Amino acid sequence: MLTVMIFVFLIGYLCIALEHPLKVNKAGTALLTGTILWVLYTFAAPDLIPTASAEEFKEFLDAYPAIADLPFVEQCTRFVVEHQVLDSIGEIAETLIFLIGAMITVELIDAHGGFMFITNRIKTNQKKKLLLLVAFITFFMSAILDNLTTSIVMVMLMRKLLGNYKERWVFGSVIIIAANSGGAWSPIGDVTTIMLWVRGNISSSSTIPHLILPSLVSMIVPVLIMMRFLHGKVTPPDAFTYNENDELLKELKTKEKLSILILGVLCLIFVPIFKTITHLPPFMGILMGVGILWIYTELMYKRDIVNEDLKLRLSKIVRRIDGATLLFFLGILLAVDALRCSGVLTNFAFWLDETVGNVYAVNLIIGTLSAVVDNVPLVAGAIGMYPVATDAIIATATDPTYMANFVQDGIFWQFLAYCAGVGGSMLIIGSAAGVVVMGLERINFIWYLKNISLLALIGYLAGAGVYILQNVVLGL
């Protein structure tokens, strides 16, 4: 049955990767794959649980003595349905609720013209200076917001500044690299870092200082190489209209747009602080921020004389959220959790440990794979393969020194956040930022492969080298 489950997962993954040629939305494929895998696992549970979840199964039976009197097959079914499925959904829901809150916050800022305060202040038309400026803005904006939204905002800016589509392709490629690098060092900058942070594998206080320099190097090295081939001034567009037909932005006062930008960004920045102070899950902090923004915008519209049809209350903003993306995450995380519970991921982890046996090499392999396939299931798979090591796990491990790499904020989890985030830049389809820029600017896959992939690889390895240097040589 394990072979069948792996085959179903690979077929589902292939269909997700070939979403555009097949013209089948990847969310539907992910949901179907995830549910089929749980069905298969449920039927195979009596054979798999004794080896994959023996201790957990025993604790479940001890907690519910009435179930212990049932036939073994029914015990296994109850264990899967009443324990493993609910645990899986609970962990997935934490990530999805956080993403929903973050997406609402960012969409609210964008809909009210908040990001224009950033984009309208870029005046230079020198290619080299503009490229460096765009890279740094994208890098730090992605760490505060998320790489997907940042990429959209920055591409819209490039359309305002650049008239030549080939120039926009170059700048768009830099946006992809900078957005992925910027999202890797922040707990709220990328879906993968959010997953690791929400599940307790990394913390903001340790991740930021350890990953900011490697991430910065992974961005700046390709940019500096690109700058050597850029000369002169950019070609301005013949005509440009930005939100010209948006009647709401014409009606809103400048201070109102700015206030929503500041309040929204503060709500996002507040989430790590909230978690540190209250020890509650991050999704509670982001929901508090959404509530604050909701009340603020209601009060703002109450005193503003704006046509009701134009008002973008938060209840309208919710409808703009990309539900298909959220369902894709749900489906793929369900699929990965089914493989985790069945023992497939644990076996794969053992194989990696025996074959490779080095946390740096394992993560570099995962990062390289993230350029080909989506980094979300890769990170979800790694979380399933390697549980966060506790003192008890380390004490009973065959190699306690090696297992110590898997504690919270251990080398494995921090380097995974870097590799999975930055590695996706090596191909334009390897990250959400790459896919959205490719779609908006119609960047050719082969053009990116020939002109940008090698630069992204150099940056990826350079940043990885800095992280390894920090830990192995400097002991930071």
The full DSSP string for 161-184 is: H---HHHHHHHHHHHHHHHHHHHH
First-to-last C-alpha distance (Å) of the chain: 45
Mean pLDDT score of the chain, rounded to an integer? Answer: 83
Q: Is a pLDDT exceeding 50 seen at residue 244?
A: no
| DSSP secondary structure code for residue 387 in this structure | P
248 vs 272: which has the higher pLDDT: 272
pLDDT in the model for residue 242: 46
Give the pLDDT band of residue 240 (cuts 50, 70, 90): very low
DSSP 8-state code for residue 406: G
Nearest C-alpha neighbor of 199 from the set 413, 356, 423, 438:
413
Query: Given this model, what pLDDT does residue 216 score?
Result: 95
3-state helix, strand, coil in the chain (%, to 5): 80, 0, 20
7 has a pLDDT exceeding 80? yes
| Cβ proximity of 181 and 218 under 8 Å | yes
How many residues are recorded in the chain?
Answer: 476
pLDDT at 267 over 80: yes
**% pLDDT > 70, the chain:** 93
Radius of gyration of the chain (CA): 23
CB-based burial of residue 254 (10 Å sphere; 0-12 exposed, 13-18 middle, 19+ buried)? exposed
pLDDT tens per residue, range 376-395: 767 877 787 777 877 777 77
Dist CA 262 CA 114 (whole Å):
8
The answer to whether 174 touches 135, Cβ cutoff 8 Å, is yes
Please name which of 417, 430, 461 lies closest in space to residue 188, comparing C-alpha atoms.
Answer: 417
Of 164 and 35, the structure prediction assigns the larger pLDDT to 35
- Look up residue 245 and give its DSSP letter: T
Render pLDDT for 137-148 as a digit per residue (tens, 0 to 9): 999 988 887 787
Q: Is 397 or 72 the better-scoring residue by pLDDT?
A: 72
* Per-residue confidence (pLDDT) for residue 379, from 0 to 100: 80
Task: Give the integer Cα–Cα distance in Å for 146 and 61.
Answer: 42
pLDDT for the residue numbered 164? 79
Tens of pLDDT, residues 23-69: 888 889 989 999 999 999 999 989 888 887 888 888 888 888 888 88
**382 to 15, 128, 180, 327, 435: CA distances (angstroms):** 21, 39, 19, 21, 23
Spatial separation of the C-alpha atoms in residues 89 and 106, rounded to whole Å:
25
